Amino acid sequence: MSTKEGPQTSRRGPYAKSAERRRAILTAAHAVFAAHGYRGSSLQDVANLAGMSQTSLLHYFPSKSDLLLAVLNWRDSITGDGTAPPDPEESLSDAVLRQARFNEDVPGVLELYTVLCGEAVTEGHPGRDYFTQRFERLRRSYARQLAQLAGEGRLRPGVDPDTAAASLIALWDGIQTQWLLAPGSVDMAGCLRAYLDLVLVPEENPERASAGALPLAPLG
Amino acid sequence: MSTKEGPQTSRRGPYAKSAERRRAILTAAHAVFAAHGYRGSSLQDVANLAGMSQTSLLHYFPSKSDLLLAVLNWRDSITGDGTAPPDPEESLSDAVLRQARFNEDVPGVLELYTVLCGEAVTEGHPGRDYFTQRFERLRRSYARQLAQLAGEGRLRPGVDPDTAAASLIALWDGIQTQWLLAPGSVDMAGCLRAYLDLVLVPEENPERASAGALPLAPLG
DNA sequence: CGAAAACTCGAGTGGTCGCTCGAGTTTTGG
DNA sequence: CCAAAACTCGAGCGACCACTCGAGTTTTCG
């Protein structure tokens, strides 16, 4: 691939500290965007928090929209994009509830997604494609998982996997907004658990004979 | 409107066309805020769409945040704030689904609420209190209606009215976001109906057989 | 070492922002 | 009719915006 045989293309690599510098910028931008949104934030704010000049920041991310997309993709690369379950043995319910409870304790993540997702619906927002594709991906992923559960008889009769997938994502996002505005008045994990209890059939006890159910952690 | 007996308070009333002028500003501001959000909009944009100078606009609404709050309250005064059912005979399901279907055909309303609600979570946003109080009010209203249904045995056993109220609002908001980003991929009314069918027990009226109601096992 | 790329940043660009000022015009109410 | 309030708006204020330029410094690598 990239040998040095190029006679004139003598491009050197970045400095040793460059990666760390980029991470400092992304961390700062994450916090600033989460607190004020994309349009409410300035590159100067991010640069100040990152401890460098605005010009230096622009050396690493050539424009504000580039910085936004970098933050979004960076976040996904760390926490995952919600598509791939880290543990294939973990049930859908457990994965959702674990993630929901985890998010409560990591300030900024929920703010970033909620604030930017709302902003992204506006005309010409640089994050619009990101969120559109993210929702599409999530809907497909959950629909697939729910369809598999339906095949195992674990989905309540009459529940459509596609509808339930979109509804689960919508419920999750919506309850996050309410929680951010009034953390004491809303129980995020409780709402999600209540919905999953409605949609999923509880695991069959061994005494009740029916289609073979896979062992799963109790929901109640 | 007030009497003119004030001896020193010789303040005159507004011109005849003032009310119409204010309405033109609110209409323009509604459209601009819905398309670009609060921070993404400028008073100049609103003034241009309303057909007047930015200075004249500021004569009616002394600041940008005043304009935002006026738009939000104006919207509520027209369509209602979702608390008061216009027809006391209409069921909760019918009211929700009718409103959901109605919103699909009135562009701008959903954009305004979704965009501003996301923005409102940011620090120092002038609409934050509005949305916080709106959610509180809506949760109380739905919880009360659901509790009454529970008393009539119309709520599925195991469903908590408070949780279901917050969940219904969250689902509604979240599905709106998805619909705005991909109108063809999401069925707003369908998702809401599916949720209500899960939460509510079909009416006992033998003549009125709900097509969407399916036999569901009680929760264990 | 030494040259050139990687990096840093003060200074500046043109633009837009919300909002003020003051002076002129229109309408109202007595 | 007529003062004064309601309205209109061009001009301008200081602040901030994303982004550019150019010149200096640091690091890499042959």
Chunked mean pLDDT (size 10), chain A, 220 residues: 42 89 98 98 98 98 98 94 76 95 94 98 98 98 97 97 98 98 98 98 61 38
- Separation of first and last alpha carbons in chain B: 61
DSSP A200: B
Q: Quick count: other Cβ atoms within 10 Å of Cβ A19?
A: 10
Q: How close is the nearest chain A Cα to the Cα of B108, in Å?
A: 11
pLDDT at B202: 85
3-state SS, residue A129: helix
B30-50 pLDDT, tens per residue? 999 999 999 999 999 999 999
Q: Answer yes or no: do A170 and B160 touch at CB < 8 A.
A: no
Partner A contacted by B129 (CB < 8 A): no
Domain residue ranges of chain B, discontinuous segments joined by +? 16-79, 81-202
> Which residue in this structure is represented by tokens 């005159």?
B12
**Please, is B122 exposed, middle or buried when counting C-beta atoms within 10 Å of its C-beta (0-12, 13-18, 19+)?**
buried
Average pLDDT rounded to a whole number, residues B127-155:
97
- CATH class, domain B81-202, is mainly alpha
* Strand positions, DSSP E, chain A: none
Chain A residue closest in CA terms to B171: A171
Residue of B nearest to A116 (CA): B118
Cα B180 to the center of its chain, rounded Å: 15
Which chain B residues are Cβ-neighbours of A186 within 8 angstroms? 166
CATH superfamily name and code, A16-79? Homeodomain-like (1.10.10.60)
B53 vs chain A: nearest CA distance in angstroms?
Answer: 24
Per-residue pLDDT tens over the stretch B53-105 = 999 999 999 999 999 999 999 999 998 887 776 677 889 999 999 999 999 99
Which of B38, B49, B121, B169 should we substitute to test contact with A (largest number of A Cβ atoms within 10 Å)? B121
- Closest nucleotide (CA of A21 to C1')? C7
Query: pLDDT at position A88, please?
Result: 77
pLDDT value of residue B131: 98
Question: What is the DSSP track for chain B?
Answer: ---S--SS--PPPPPTTHHHHHHHHHHHHHHHHHHHTTTT--HHHHHHHHTS-HHHHHHHSSSHHHHHHHHHHHHHHHH--SSS-S-TTS-HHHHHHHHHHHHHTSTTHHHHHHHHHHHHTSTT-TTHHHHHHHHHHHHHHHHHHHHHHHHTT-BPTT--HHHHHHHHHHHHHHHHHHHHH-TTT--HHHHHHHHHHHHBPPP--SS---TT----PPP-
Q: How many CB pairs under 8 A join A and B?
A: 175
From B120, which residue of chain A is nearest by alpha-carbon distance? A115
Helix (DSSP H) and strand (DSSP E) numbers for chain A:
9, 0
Say how far B19 CA is from C1 C1', in Å.
Answer: 80
Res B209: pLDDT: 43
Name the residue among B143, B120, B142, B140 with its Cα closest to residue B131.
B120
Which of B216, B182, B197, B180 shows the shortest CA–CA distance to B97?
B197
pLDDT value of position B33: 98
CB contact under 8 A, A120 and B164: no
Q: Is there a contact between A178 and B199 if contact means CB atoms under 8 Å apart?
A: no
Q: What is the pLDDT of residue A213?
A: 37
Taking the domain A81-204, which CATH number applies?
1.10.357
pTM tops 0.85: yes
pLDDT for the residue numbered B206: 52
Cβ distance A127 to A68 under 8 Å?
yes
What is the C-alpha to C-alpha distance for residues A36 and A115, in angstroms, rounded to an integer?
A: 8
Interfacial A residues in 169-188 facing B (CB < 8 Å): 169-175, 177-178, 180-182, 185-187
